[in-house]
Amino acid sequence: MNSAFQKRIIGSTILKNAFIKTATFEGMYDNGIPNQKLIDHHVSMAKGKVALTTVSYGAVSPDARTFKTQMYIHPESLEKLKELADAVHNAGGKVSIQLTHCGYFSKNTDQKRPLAPSRVFNEYGCMSGIMFSKAMTSEDLRKVSDDFANAAMALKNIGFDAVELHMGHGYLLSQFLCPWTNKRKDEYGGTIENRARYPLQVFNNIKDKVGKDFPVLVKLNLSDGFKGGFTLDESVYVSQELEKAGCDALVLSGGFTSKTPFYLMRGGIPLKGMIQNGTSLAEKFTMALFGPFIIKKYKFEPNFFLEQAKVIRKAVKMPLVYLGGVDSAQGIEEVMKEGFDLIAIGRALIHDPDFLIKIEKGSITKSGCTRCNQCVVEMDRGGVRCVL
- Active-site residues: which are they? 171
Helices (H), the chain: 36-47, 75-90, 138-157, 172-177, 192-195, 197-210, 232-245, 271-276, 281-294, 306-315, 329-337, 347-351, 355-361, 374-378
What is the nearest approach in angstroms of ligand FMN to the Cβ of residue 169?
A: 5
What is the nearest approach in angstroms of ligand FMN to the Cβ of residue 376?
A: 4
Closest residue to ligand FMN, judged by C-beta, is 346
Using only C-alpha atoms, what is the Rg of the chain? 19
What is the nearest approach in angstroms of ligand FMN to the Cβ of residue 255?
A: 8
* Closer residue to ligand FMN, CB minimum distance, 189 or 261: 261
What is the nearest approach in angstroms of ligand FMN to the Cβ of residue 56?
A: 4
Return d(Cα 163, Cα 206) in angstroms, integer.
10
What is the nearest approach in angstroms of ligand FMN to the Cβ of residue 167?
A: 10
* Closer residue to ligand FMN, CB minimum distance, 15 or 165: 165
State the residues that interact with ligand FMN by CB under 6 A: 22-25, 56-57, 98, 166, 169, 219, 253, 264-265, 323-326, 345-348, 375-376, 379, 384
Residue pair 114/106 in contact by the 8 Å Cβ criterion: yes
Return d(Cα 185, Cα 207) in angstroms, integer.
28
Taking the CA atoms of 19, 84, 381 and 294 in sequence, report the sign of the dihedral they define: negative
Give one DSSP letter per residue of 130-142, joined into a string.
--B-EEPPHHHHH
* Closer residue to ligand FMN, CB minimum distance, 185 or 299: 299
* Closer residue to ligand FMN, CB minimum distance, 135 or 218: 218
Return d(Cα 160, Cα 146) in angstroms, integer.
19
Return d(Cα 290, Cα 380) in angstroms, integer.
21
What is the nearest approach in angstroms of ligand FMN to the Cβ of residue 324?
A: 5
Residue 52's H or E segment, with its range, is strand 52-59
* Closer residue to ligand FMN, CB minimum distance, 189 or 260: 260
* Closer residue to ligand FMN, CB minimum distance, 120 or 306: 306
DSSP letter assigned to residue 94: E
Distance of CA 269 to the CA centre of its chain: 19
